[in-house]
């Protein structure tokens, strides 16, 4: 019976394949840490969201809007958007009872139009979404009193109804707003399994700083966009819980640098005295040092510090520009050229990049592995030559 042995050519190709495979895996592993820009490329605007480089307008902005839209409604306008503008302006000004009252007036206007067969488009959804938000904002403004959760329960019902009417509006943010509200109503317990109970705990299980795609598997693959929408379009910039959830969502999908930056925002808020709305938490340790290797943390920390300083300076200049225009009676709602003479006074710091200190070592090891594989192939081939003399024919 003749046995067959692999040819020298096949053995050499196998050795080469080992080399290519090891180097390829090294590049794949290192790709996540080669550059911050590469990691952020799929998340447009996430750095600005985390560092606060987005508009937050002064009270006079909303006062002027409220005066104008209220006047138009009183003059007989049937434009339903005016009610939304009035309600949101009151909410931004801390006049939550008035905001809720504006939504009652909007519902009456909607019903009047629909009673004669008129089309109100998506305004019933807007009514539900705004009213639900106003209720939870009123609860928060009144001290987040857990002995009276009526506003929070009402908010949950309204937001759930809004989602049923229009599930994809505002980047799906109402879906995550509902998770947060349900988390407030029924906070998950803290135990060995739920050491950091995010707003996702009840629906997706707990998240950890290592990437595991828990959210994607549970159907929450748009979590980052949804949370970003709440932060920028709602009132989440000062919420330690929302930034904690954002950090964990980013870590879960493998965006370690962005998760680290969001964790820095959590730490910043807590240092300023912010506490979690979870009744058992208070302040918590996000353990952001576990998100990145030590070699990446110093540059990332330096970037965050510089980016926050630049963002705050940009925002102050932006608000000064806006206030100057508003004081002259100009408003973005009514003056199309409002922003024409605005120029950014500064630019955000560049996202740092670094090469991995382990890259050269890994490539050397990979190369030596390949050379060793080829050397072994040569030895085997020499054995093959001897076996041929014994009547064994190589393949």
pLDDT tens per residue, range 223-242: 998 888 888 876 789 999 99
Query: pLDDT-derived band of residue 172, with 50, 70 and 90 as boundaries?
Result: low
Look at residue 395 and tell me whether its pLDDT is greater than 60: no
Query: pLDDT-derived band of residue 16, with 50, 70 and 90 as boundaries?
Result: very low
Residue 30 or 359, more confident: 359
Please tell me the predicted confidence (pLDDT) of residue 290.
74
Look at residue 113 and tell me whether its pLDDT is greater than 90: yes
Please tell me the predicted confidence (pLDDT) of residue 30.
22
Please tell me the predicted confidence (pLDDT) of residue 334.
93
Residue 202 or 32, more confident: 202
| Backbone CA torsion sign across 157, 160, 164, 170 | positive
Look at residue 64 and tell me whether its pLDDT is greater than 90: yes
Look at residue 369 and tell me whether its pLDDT is greater than 80: no
Please tell me the predicted confidence (pLDDT) of residue 9.
40
Mean pLDDT of the chain: 80
Look at residue 10 and tell me whether its pLDDT is greater than 60: no
Look at residue 262 and tell me whether its pLDDT is greater than 90: yes
Please tell me the predicted confidence (pLDDT) of residue 114.
96
Q: How far is CA 358 from CA 119, 289, 361, 369, in A?
A: 63, 19, 5, 16
Look at residue 354 and tell me whether its pLDDT is greater than 70: no
Look at residue 36 and tell me whether its pLDDT is greater than 80: no
Q: Whole-angstrom Cα distance, residue 325 to residue 232?
A: 23
What digits encode the pLDDT tens for the residues 280-324? Answer: 776 666 666 777 788 888 899 999 999 999 999 999 999 999 999
Could you tell me the two tokens for 272? Answer: 């300023």
278: left (phi over 0), alpha (psi -120 to 50) or beta: beta
Average pLDDT value for residue range 127-141: 94
Please tell me the predicted confidence (pLDDT) of residue 353.
75
**Whose CA is closest to 198, among 278, 125, 118?**
278
Would the pTM of this model clear 0.85, i.e. be above it? no
Look at residue 120 and tell me whether its pLDDT is greater than 60: yes
Which residues, other chains included, contact 27 with Cβ-Cβ below 8 Å and sequence gap of 6+? none
Which residues, other chains included, contact 321 with Cβ-Cβ below 8 Å and sequence gap of 6+? 342
Look at residue 355 and tell me whether its pLDDT is greater than 70: no
Average pLDDT value for residue range 366-380: 63
Contact 51, 307 (CB under 8 A): yes
Please tell me the predicted confidence (pLDDT) of residue 90.
94
Q: Whole-angstrom Cα distance, residue 191 to residue 196?
A: 9
Average pLDDT value for residue range 104-131: 94
Dihedral in degrees, nearest 10, Cα atoms 370, 373, 378, 380: -170
How many Cβ atoms are within 10 Å of 96's Cβ, its own excluded?
22
Average pLDDT value for residue range 343-366: 65
Look at residue 387 and tell me whether its pLDDT is greater than 80: no
Provide, rounded to the nearest whole percent, the portion of the chain with pLDDT above 70: 73
Q: Whole-angstrom Cα distance, residue 144 to residue 157?
A: 18
Query: Which of 48-57, 175-184, 190-199 bottoms out in mean pLDDT, i.e. has the lowest?
Result: 190-199
Please tell me the predicted confidence (pLDDT) of residue 119.
94
Look at residue 125 and tell me whether its pLDDT is greater than 50: yes
The listed range with the strongest mean pLDDT (4-8, 92-96, 224-228) is 92-96
């Amino acid at each position: 019976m003749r046995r067959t042995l692999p040819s020298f050519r096949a053995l050499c190709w196998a050795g080469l394949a080992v080399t290519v495979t090891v180097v390829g895996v090294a590049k794949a592993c290192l790709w996540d840490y080669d550059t911050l820009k590469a990691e952020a490329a799929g998340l447009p605007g996430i750095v600005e969201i985390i560092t606060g480089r987005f508009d937050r307008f002064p009270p006079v902005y909303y006062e002027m809007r409220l005066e104008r839209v209220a006047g138009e409604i009183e003059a007989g306008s049937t434009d339903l958007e005016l009610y939304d503008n009035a309600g949101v302006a009151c909410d931004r000004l801390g006049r939550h009872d008035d905001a809720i009252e504006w939504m009652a007036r909007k519902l009456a206007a909607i019903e009047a139009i629909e009673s004669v067969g008129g089309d109100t488009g998506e305004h019933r959804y807007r009514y539900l979404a705004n009213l639900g938000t106003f209720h939870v904002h009123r609860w928060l403004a009144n001290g987040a009193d857990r002995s009276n959760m009526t506003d929070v329960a009402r908010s949950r019902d309204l937001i759930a109804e809004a989602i049923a009417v229009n599930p994809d509006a505002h980047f799906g943010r109402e879906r995550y707003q509902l998770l947060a509200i349900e988390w407030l109503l029924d906070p998950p317990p803290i135990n060995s399994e739920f050491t950091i109970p995010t707003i996702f705990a009840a629906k997706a299980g707990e998240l950890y700083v290592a990437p595991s795609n828990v959210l994607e598997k549970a159907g929450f693959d748009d979590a980052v966009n949804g949370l970003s929408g709440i932060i920028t379009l709602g009132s989440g910039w000062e919420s330690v819980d929302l930034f904690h959830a954002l950090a964990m969502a980013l870590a879960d999908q493998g965006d370690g640098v962005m998760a680290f930056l969001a964790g820095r925002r959590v730490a910043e808020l807590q240092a300023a005295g912010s506490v979690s709305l979870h009744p058992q938490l208070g302040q918590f340790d996000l353990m952001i040092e576990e998100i990145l290797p030590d070699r990446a943390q110093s540059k990332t920390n330096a970037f965050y510090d510089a980016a926050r300083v630049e963002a705050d300076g940009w925002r102050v200049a932006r608000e000064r520009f806006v206030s100057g225009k508003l004081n002259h009676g100009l408003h973005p709602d009514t003056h199309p050229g409002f922003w024409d003479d605005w120029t950014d006074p500064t630019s955000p710091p560049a996202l740092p990049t670094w090469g991995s200190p382990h890259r050269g070592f890994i490539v050397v090891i990979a190369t030596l592995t390949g050379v060793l594989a080829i050397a072994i192939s040569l030895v085997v081939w020499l054995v093959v030559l001897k076996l041929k003399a014994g009547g064994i024919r190589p393949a």
